[in-house]
A and B are shown apart, each in its own frame.
Chain A
Amino acid sequence: MAKEVLIEFQNISKTFGSIVANDKVCMDVMRGEILSVLGENGCGKTTLMNMLAGIYYPDGGRILIHGKEVTIHSPKDAFDQKIGMIHQHFKLIPVFTATENVVLGVKNGSRYNLKNAKKTIGEMCERYGFHIDPDKKIYEMSVSEKQTVEIIKVLYRGADILILDEPTAVLTPQEIEKLFAVLRAMRDDGKSIIIITHKLNEVMEISDRVSVLRKGHHIATIETKDTNVQELTEMMVGKKITLNIDREQVKDPADRLVINDLNCTNADGVKTLDHVSFVARSGEILGIAGIAGSGQKELLEAIAGLQKLDSGEIIFHRPKKDLPVSFFHKTFKQVTDLAAEGKFHYEDGTPVDLTGKSKKEIRSLVNDGKILFNEDEIMNLRDKTPLQIRELGVRLSFVPEDRLGMGLVGNMDIIDNMMLRSYRKGKSILVNRKRPESLADQVVKGLEVVTPDLHTPVRKLSGGNVQKVLVGREISSAPKVLMAAYPVRGLDINSSYLIYNLLSKQKEDGAAVIFVGEDLDVLLGLCDRILVLNAGRVTGIVDARSVTKEEIGFMMTKTGA
């Protein structure tokens, strides 16, 4: 097909306050192509497309369609130019059916007719290979089905130019395959498709050309077949970086956290955790895969003591085996009681019998570190509050999904946020800000947090730096169990890899790491084992070194079973 230029951006600029989102961007879109707009979070790719879709209006520059300058002030203006955008967060009415949502807002009387609409939708499905039940209500639909409705909605309004904002973020590998097939069919039908993304492998797979944006500037537009992942990464980041996760072999794994038959029901009576059992081991990263909302949040919050459970046990094995008694117990009575229960042995392995020994003898044996524990201490963390868990001496760290709403306090500075975990220490009624300050200083220097100073409210930092502050605090206590939920969401490539390597470092230091992720490539490259959650149930625990993406995708979506 002869390529003709359909849309032209000329010197498009847009600023928000002091932030320059787009700076004199010039690029074009051809008719009948799939164009990827690639860039890191905050590079201005969504802003640029929002200007094409009528959400924003450019501060400077011109947009040309078919060589004519156009003014797009609203989404309606965009539709008049046959431009439709499918946003990351769907804009559908849950209690309406697919058809009702599609016709909603269409002005033309005959097109508002539901019967006709259903017929048209049927034709579209056939033409592009969609599968959708036009009478199904939105709230009964999977994410992938909702996305299909959004695409049909745009097509129904006659769009020839489709913009999709991160369309694969919430889909499984199988659903992505289906979506790509549909997109190819639409391209072959002469439509232009723009995909906003930061996933390199998808760019390589689907697009004809790729435009790279960095910090609001257009870096280059090139044919996909002439480039490779490494080159695109360099354009995106602006410097050469290595995208390697150092995955060491697991050393001396020991059971650290034994999860036994957890059940949990939410306020609506839906089972969020359904007989979940697994073991997290020290020196290992256990990945948790699953479609968003499959129980990941509930599981981690249950372990952290934030979620009420219907039944089940959370058993923590506190490492004590072969460690000196003096490390844990100081009082004389505790030591003699435990010795009487036969919990100790000497360095050479012989059992300890303290009967008949004088207080002084026992004291010196303990203080010299001659008496060791036989085995780990076992405790059930179920129904313990976060405070009780800490008071038991369990070093459990948790990087929650909602960083500023749960892990940190946005309006407080870095020092006060460092203090969240430790402010109770000491008997004084006043808080001591000296130690948190030195910790904040360490984290800022060690993890290269970009901040004007330690007194800046964390909400003013960028997403990556916020996450570094949170992760830095959570690993500063040398955790025995470290849980991280979507720790790289919204982070640039450099920060993401920094976080991956921090998690790997914790694993090498003997922590049991639980990592909830959404990017299957990362899960496969970072973790040792992967647990797949599907509607609150464990549908598989597999070796990350031998499993394939497709196998995990299948476990994420299979029903019944």
Chain B
Amino acid sequence: MEQNKEPVSAPKQHRGLPFHIIKRVNIPIWKKITIYAVAIVGGLLLSSLICAGLAGKNPLDYFTYLFKGAFGTERKIWLMLLDAALLLGASMALIPAFKMRFWNLGGNGQMLVACLSAYSLSYFLGDKVPEWLLILLMFACSILSGIVWSLIPALFKAFFNTNETLFTLMMNYIATGIVLYCRASWITSGSAQFPTLTKGTLPEIYNNMLPTVAIFVLLTLFMFVYLKYSKHGYEISVVGESVNTAKYIGINVKKVIIRTMILSGAIAGLVGFILIARTGPGLSSDTPNNMGFTAIMTSWLANFSPLLLFLSCFFISFITRGMSQVQQGFGLTNNSIISIVTGLIYFCVIACSFFINYKIVFRKKEGK
């Protein structure tokens, strides 16, 4: 029967691309690490070529500057660790909410209102109350204002099911607006800056960075235990995975949302307090340095795991510190180049998750 097959009806060639994309079921851990390593190295190589090309320098120097910027001197190492620690704190403020699938994009605003509370206490009460009381007040008020800023969207989400993404995002702009308003009404001298103060500065241990690093490392370990081993953490996971299941077993979903966002806001408030009180208090609307947004990236990169956050926060701080050294060393005066190239590195790292979830299989040739 097969002999009298007519040539007219010969099968058409496969249409489309010569490969298909298949979802990976299980991926061994070494493969995952390799993919990430390749992505990081690839991103760095790409960025070194671009930077060196624009500056007309040797691409190898790029790596020298990169590592010098991050590890060059003891102070540079401390600065990088400080950056990483603050970023850890900001990520800690987001992770419990993210685990609950509550997309809290308001970390920046929550930190900023906390900064404003702490700074204003130092500004108005600095000369009137003893230093220890001032610090205590700053600590309490920062945390409280962080909570207020996160609680508002949480209540709306819990009771009216409003979209938390937009809500928390908009809260950032309100916070910025309030800071600008305060500056305009408090600083009558015409200066566009809040003055740097001396009252309300945290004591140093070894240097003024070690306490901060220690606090946030401990906080991260606490968060790891809280999310993985506590009943609260278990409830957060259930609510995040399926609200229906949570209701079915009798979890009060509203309560979990509100409780978790209070925790989130409190941690953001703590970060805000430290931003102000670590050195002599100074404030601008840019004090949180967009960490509320960078933390979104570190959290996703760490797959919402507090332990992996150590890696992602360290990586981002390393790149940021290293790149500013590259900029200086190569004499690149244009800041945007550095932003673009840094973005490129992040892009490579984030895009590689495609190869972790999928693999590409090339079609075999027709006719065996």
Contact = CB atoms under 8 A, between A and B. Distances in A.
A67 B234 contact: no
A73 B234 contact: no
Contact of B250 (A18, A69, A70, A387): A387
A431 B229 CA distance: 6
Contacts of A400: 248
A421 B249 contact: yes
Interface size class of B (residues with CB under 8 A): 20 to 34
Contact of A406 (B245, B250, B252): B245
A430 B231 contact: yes
B309 to A, nearest CB: 20
Contact of B10 (A69, A405, A423, A431): A69
User: How extensive is the interface on chain A, given as a class?
Assistant: 35 or more
Contacts of B234: 416, 419, 423, 431
A410 B238 CA distance: 10
Interface in B236-255: 237-238, 241-242, 244-245, 247-252
Contact of B242 (A70, A398, A406): A406
B133 interface: no
A73 B10 CA distance: 14
Contacts of B22: 17
Interface stretch (B1-9, B82-90, B214-222, B256-264): B1-9
B244 A71 contact: no
Contact of B9 (A70, A306, A404, A430): A70
A300 to B, nearest CB: 11
B244 A409 contact: no
A73 B234 CA distance: 47
Interface string B188-221: 0000000000000000000000000000000000
A385 interface: yes
Interface string A390-421: 10000000101010111111111000100111
Contacts of A421: 249
A410 B237 CA distance: 11
Contacts of A545: none
B231 A429 contact: yes
A178 interface: no
B241 A430 contact: no
Contacts of A404: 242
Contact of B237 (A67, A406, A409): A409
B234 to A, nearest CB: 5
A68 B1 CA distance: 10
Given A402-B244, A419-B234, A420-B238, A67 B249 contact: no
A367 B177 CA distance: 70
A408 B9 contact: no
Contacts of A491: none
Contacts of A406: 242, 244-245, 248
B317 to A, nearest CB: 31
A469 to B, nearest CB: 13
Contacts of B11: 62, 69, 71
B12 interface: yes
A122 interface: no
Contacts of B244: 402, 405-406
A386 interface: yes
Contacts of A428: 231
Nearest to A409: B241
Contact of B1 (A67, A416, A429, A431): A67
A411 B231 contact: no
Contacts of B24: 17
Contacts of A48: none
Nearest to B232: A429
Contact of B241 (A306, A410, A431): A410
Contacts of A389: 250
A400 B249 CA distance: 11
B245 A420 contact: yes
B17 interface: no
Nearest to A408: B245
Contacts of A419: 234
B31 interface: no
Given A69-B11, A423-B231, A412 B1 contact: no
Contacts of B6: 68
B25 interface: yes
A386 B9 contact: no
B245 A407 contact: yes
A424 interface: yes
Contacts of A407: 245, 248
Interface string B66-90: 0000000000000000000000000
A533 interface: no
B230 A431 contact: yes
Given A17-B25, A69-B9, A431-B230, A409 B238 contact: yes
Nearest to B249: A420
14 contacts: A17-B25, A62-B11, A67-B4, A69-B9, A73-B12, A388-B250, A389-B250, A407-B245, A408-B245, A419-B234, A420-B249, A430-B230, A431-B230, A431-B231
Interface of A: 17-18, 62, 67-71, 73, 304-306, 385-390, 398, 400, 402, 404-412, 416, 419-421, 423-424, 428-431
Given A420-B249, A421-B249, A431-B230, 4 more contacts: A306-B247, A385-B252, A387-B250, A430-B231
The 8 closest A-B pairs by CB, nearest first: A387-B250, A386-B250, A406-B244, A409-B241, A68-B9, A420-B249, A71-B11, A430-B229
